[in-house]
């Protein structure tokens, strides 16, 4: 345990950078706090409740290229013409996998416990057999410094879903703010080497205070199915902002794309997909499984709670409250799945 | 990056032959270039058409030939339309095989009822060929196959050959006047089939049909865990990372399926 001043905290970030990490931390930009690669460590923000984005944006980018290949597509006067490559033809398929290695290893500095929980959830999804090689390449050697969260705002619910504590193994450093100073504890060998301390300590952290407390109990599939969210969703425009800002929404789409300027170079990209969109559940023959916004909202709730519990043994909701705070009409799922107690 | 197994990379295959099956369906026979597909009936692959995209298809050939696979493709969307323009010699990419196959070991010694509607028979063809090749291992086998018109019947030429080894019942729901065979939907003809204690059913078709057939079979006394359904979703990654193929109950069709027994999933919700 060490008591560090602001300058010494910034020194830690410089030290991480020296060790080859790309340091990502919260920074105030244009009125919102965002996780950004900290080129200037003095921009680090330590007094915040929520960030607009989450570690997901760095571990599982919105759009990433999986591989490239050559096709024989050409632009002709009557449009795009695709001739399939043949064995003896000039252009057999050559597939070039593309792992975009990060500029260094990733380090998250100053994220809250709920975000550390979200990394645990993404690990469970992406590293379960067979592991996703692209995620794994970015995840390996990840450094996490967790900043304790003193008090949440009116949208937070980490206590209600049990993610107010940092899961074991998901913090190398834990930082608590005390006045102008910071109490820093190392909880992994990597953390203690950074702090120049021998000992590794168990983190004991107080849970953040909540402005509003809820009991989330109606989380089994049947209960969600029988509830009617029509009045709750009156303001829903299906903008899918809730799934964009959610730190655990990982659904993706895989597409083959090429530029019309050069149609023979095709790239296979993985892009973020949202269950709020029509194309999420459509299959061949015009069959659509999630037809209305009620269906799609219920589907999101089911994926977060009963399905995640069943498949990965942990709640898919880490209680950050981003989906409520950044919803244009502040649709609040807490009252749908539970009740307010304080 | 190490050279570890990357399930996102397709492996090469060459179109060996193209067969017309019905008005809207074609079967592509693909020879795999320097690799083998070890699969069991019920598994699927992702077919990459260079420059077009990728879509999942059930393997319809027999698992005894691991150097070739056959895919039966109905014209519906972007990839399937392009697949109808494929000619022998064209190069494609294959990812897979993925998914949980039919538990064929448990099927041995049982009487089988296979129910298929429309293109759903494609998912069962691999199983039918497997049963015919190992005919002695399986009991009395009946295929009940429903389609709208004669022109919609897939594997029309093969059905006669199959009928020598297993019972084949074909029914048309919108037949022309020249049709002498059975008329009506598959659900109308379930009563004519004897189901014993040793019976087991495999169903593939549109979600609504699968559910109504499964429910009436269970109503006739079949154990729900002896009723198998082959589900369909648009699987994108094939390995459970994109969550696009999730079905009610929290199952991933690509990893936990596509074959489910009726005891595992809730029929009412899946049929919606």
Query: Same structural domain for residues B114 and B189?
Result: yes
Based on the domain organization, do B127 and B225 belong to the same domain?
yes
Task: Choose the final residue of a domain: B97, B115, B137.
Answer: B97
A84 near B CB under 8 A:
yes
Cβ distance of B91 and A282 shorter than 8 Å = no
B58 lies in the same domain as B109 = no
Q: For chain B, which ranges sit under pLDDT 50?
A: 1-3
What does the alpha-carbon distance between residue B58 and residue B69 come to, in Å, rounded to a whole number?
A: 10
**Judged by CB atoms within 8 Å, which residues 306-325 of A form the interface with B?**
306-308, 310-311
Of B63, B97, B131, the domain-final residue: B97
**Gyration radius (Cα) of chain A, Å:** 23
Count of positions (residues) in chain B: 272
Residue B177 lies in a domain: yes
Encoding tokens for residue A50? Answer: 């929520």
Strands (E), chain A: 2-4, 21-29, 32-37, 63-70, 74-76, 79-81, 95-97, 105-111, 143-147, 173-178, 181-186, 214-216, 252-259, 262-272, 282-283, 287-288, 338-340
The answer to whether residues B87 and B129 belong to one domain is no
Closest chain A CA to residue B270: A289
- Residue A90: the pLDDT is 39
How many folded domains does chain B comprise?
A: 2
The reply to whether B133 and B250 lie within a common domain is: yes
The CATH number assigned to the domain holding B24 equals 2.40.30.10
- Structurally, how many domains does chain A consist of? 1
Please tell me whether residues B189 and B217 are part of one structural domain: yes
Across the interface, whether the CB atoms of B272 and A289 are under 8 A apart is answered: yes
Q: How far is A242 from chain B (nearest CA, A)?
A: 17
Domain assignment present for residue B166? The answer is yes
Chain A residues whose beta carbon lies within 8 Å of the beta carbon of residue B206 = 285, 287
Cβ pair B87:A84 closer than 8 A:
yes
The pLDDT, as a whole number, for residue B2 is: 44
Task: Tell if the CB–CB gap between A69 and B243 is shorter than 8 Å.
Answer: no
Give the pLDDT of chain A (342 residues) as one tens digit per residue. 788 888 888 888 888 888 888 899 999 888 889 998 888 888 888 888 889 989 999 988 888 888 888 777 666 666 666 665 555 443 445 666 666 655 568 899 989 988 999 999 999 999 988 888 888 888 888 899 988 888 888 888 888 888 888 888 888 888 888 888 888 888 888 888 888 766 666 666 677 788 888 888 877 888 888 888 898 888 899 998 999 999 999 999 998 888 777 777 888 889 999 989 988 888 877 788 888 889 899 999 999 998 988 888 888 899 888 999 999 999 888 888 888 887
| DSSP state for residue A159 in the 8-state scheme | H
The CATH number of the domain holding residue B129 is 3.40.50.80
One DSSP character per residue, A184-199 reads EEE-SHHHHHHHT-S-
Q: How many whole angstroms separate alpha carbon B224 and alpha carbon B199? A: 11
Tokens 């009557």, located at residue: A78
Whether residue A271 lies within 8 A of chain B, CB to CB, comes out as: no
Q: What CA–CA distance (Å, rounded) separates A167 from B38?
A: 40
Q: Is A147 helix (H, G, I), strand (E, B) or coil?
A: strand
Q: Does A269 touch chain B (CB under 8 A)?
A: no
The parent domain of residue A300 ranges over 2-340
Closest CA to A328 of A228, A249, A242: A242
Residues B59 and B38 in one domain: yes
Is A251 an 8 Å CB contact of chain B? Answer: yes
- The Cα–Cα gap between A80 and A73 comes to 7
In this complex, which of A84, A225, A283 lies closest to B91 when CB atoms are compared? A84
Q: What is the largest CA-CA distance in chain A?
A: 73
Task: Note whether A90 contacts B: Cβ–Cβ < 8 A.
Answer: no
**Are B15 and B91 found together in one domain?**
yes
Question: How crowded is residue B133: how many other Cβ atoms within 10 Å of its Cβ?
Answer: 12
**Closest approach of A200 to chain B, Cα-based (Å):** 31
Residue indicated by tokens 């089911």: A302
pLDDT of residue B259: 92
Give the best residue of A284, A291, A296, A310 to mutate against chain B (max B CB count within 10 A). A284
Last residue of a domain, one of B47, B62, B97: B97
Classify strands B167-172 and B182-183 as parallel, antiparallel or unpaired: parallel
Q: Is B137 among the domain residues?
A: yes
- Do the Cβ atoms of A189 and A314 come closer than 8 Å? no
pLDDT in tens, B153-206: 899 889 999 999 899 999 999 888 888 888 888 888 888 888 888 889 999 988
Residues in chain A with CB shorter than 8 Å from the CB of B92 are 84, 93
Structure letter (DSSP) for residue B177: T
Helices and strands in chain B, H and E counts: 6, 15
Examine the domain organization and report whether B60 and B139 are in the same domain: no
CA distance A187 to A173: 6
**B93 plus B110 within the same structural domain:** no
**Contact across the interface for B244 and A311, Cβ inside 8 Å:** no
Q: Do the domain assignments include residue B1?
A: no
Rounded-to-integer distance, Cα A336 and Cα A291, Å: 20
Is B244 within 8 Å of A251 when comparing Cβ atoms? Answer: yes
CB contact under 8 A, B250 and A310: yes
Q: What is the pLDDT of residue B59?
A: 93
Q: Does some domain include residue B207? A: yes
- For residue B4, what is the nearest residue in chain A, using CA coordinates? A133
Return the closest-CA partner of residue B272 out of A226, A287, A304, A233. A287
Range of the domain at B130: 104-270
Host H or E run for residue B54 = strand B53-58
A284-287 contacts, C-beta under 8 A, 24 or more apart: A284/B74, A284/B76, A284/B77, A284/B80, A284/B234, A285/B76, A285/B206, A287/B206, A287/B207
Residue of A256, A257, A287, A290 to mutate for B, most B C-beta atoms under 10 A: A256
Query: CB neighbours of A286 closer than 8 A, spacing ≥ 6?
Result: none
Cα separation of A283 and A138, whole Å? Answer: 32
In a domain, residue B80? The reply is: yes
């Amino acid at each position: 345990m060490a008591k560090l001043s602001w300058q010494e905290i910034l020194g830690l970030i410089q030290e991480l950078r020296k060790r080859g990490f790309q340091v990502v931390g919260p920074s105030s930009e244009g009125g919102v706090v965002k996780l950004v690669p900290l080129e200037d460590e003095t921009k680090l923000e330590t007094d915040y409740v929520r960030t607009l984005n989450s570690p997901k944006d760095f571990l599982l980018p919105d759009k990433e290229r999986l591989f490239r290949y050559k096709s024989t597509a050409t632009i002709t006067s009557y449009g795009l013409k695709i001739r399939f490559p043949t064995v003896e033809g000039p252009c057999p398929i050559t597939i070039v996998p593309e792992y975009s290695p990060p500029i260094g290893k990733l380090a998250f500095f100053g994220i809250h416990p709920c975000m550390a929980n979200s990394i645990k959830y993404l690990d469970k999804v992406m590293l379960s057999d067979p592991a996703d090689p692209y995620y794994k390449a970015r995840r390996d050697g990840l450094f996490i410094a967790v900043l304790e969260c003193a008090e949440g705002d009116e949208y937070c619910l980490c206590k209600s879903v049990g993610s107010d504590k940092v899961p074991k193994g998901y913090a190398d450093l834990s930082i608590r703010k005390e006045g102008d100073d910071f109490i820093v504890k190392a909880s992994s060998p990597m953390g203690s080497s950074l702090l120049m301390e021998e000992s590794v300590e168990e983190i004991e952290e107080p849970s953040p205070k909540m402005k509003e407390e809820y009991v989330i109990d109606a989380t089994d599939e049947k209960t969600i199915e029988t509830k009617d969210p029509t009045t709750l969703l009156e303001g829903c425009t299906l903008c899918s902002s809730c799934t964009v800002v959610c730190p655990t929404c990982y659904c993706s789409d895989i597409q083959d794309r090429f530029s019309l300027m050069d149609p023979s170079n095709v790239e296979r990209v993985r892009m973020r997909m949202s269950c709020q969109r029509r194309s999420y559940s459509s299959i061949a023959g015009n069959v659509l499984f999630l037809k209305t916004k009620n269906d799609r909202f219920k589907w999101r709730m089911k994926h977060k709670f009963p399905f995640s519990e069943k498949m990965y043994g942990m709640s898919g909701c880490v209680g950050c409250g981003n989906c409520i705070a950044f919803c244009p009409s502040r649709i609040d799922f807490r009252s749908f799945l539970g009740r307010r107690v304080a | 990056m190490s050279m570890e197994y990357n399930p996102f990379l397709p492996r090469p295959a060459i179109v060996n032959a193209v067969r017309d099956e019905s008005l809207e369906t074609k079967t592509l026979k693909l020879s795999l270039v320097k690799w083998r597909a070890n699969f069991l009936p019920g598994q699927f692959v992702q077919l990459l058409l260079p420059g077009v995209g990728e879509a999942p298809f059930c393997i319809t050939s027999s698992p005894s030939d691991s150097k070739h696979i056959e895919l039966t493709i109905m014209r519906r969307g972007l990839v399937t339309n392009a697949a109808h323009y494929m000619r022998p010699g064209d190069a494609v990419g294959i990812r897979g095989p993925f998914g949980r196959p039919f538990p064929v070991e448990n099927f041995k010694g049982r009487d089988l009822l296979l129910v298929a509607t429309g293109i759903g028979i494609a998912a069962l063809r691999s199983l039918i060929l497997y049963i015919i090749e190992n005919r002695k291992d399986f009991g009395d086998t009946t295929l009940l196959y429903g389609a709208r018109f004669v022109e919609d019947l897939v594997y029309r030429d093969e059905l006669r050959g199959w009928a020598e080894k297993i019972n084949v019942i074909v029914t048309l729901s919108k037949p022309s006047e020249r049709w002498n065979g059975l008329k009506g939907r598959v659900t109308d003809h379930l009563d004519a089939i004897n189901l014993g204690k040793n019976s087991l059913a495999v169903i593939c078709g549109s979600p609504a049909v699968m559910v109504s057939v499964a429910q009436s079979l269970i109503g006739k006394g079949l154990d729900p865990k002896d009723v198998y359904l082959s589900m369909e979703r648009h699987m994108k990654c094939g390995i459970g990372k994109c969550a696009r193929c999730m079905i009610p109950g929290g199952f991933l069709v690509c990893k936990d399926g596509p074959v489910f027994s009726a005891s595992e999933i809730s029929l009412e919700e899946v049929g919606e």
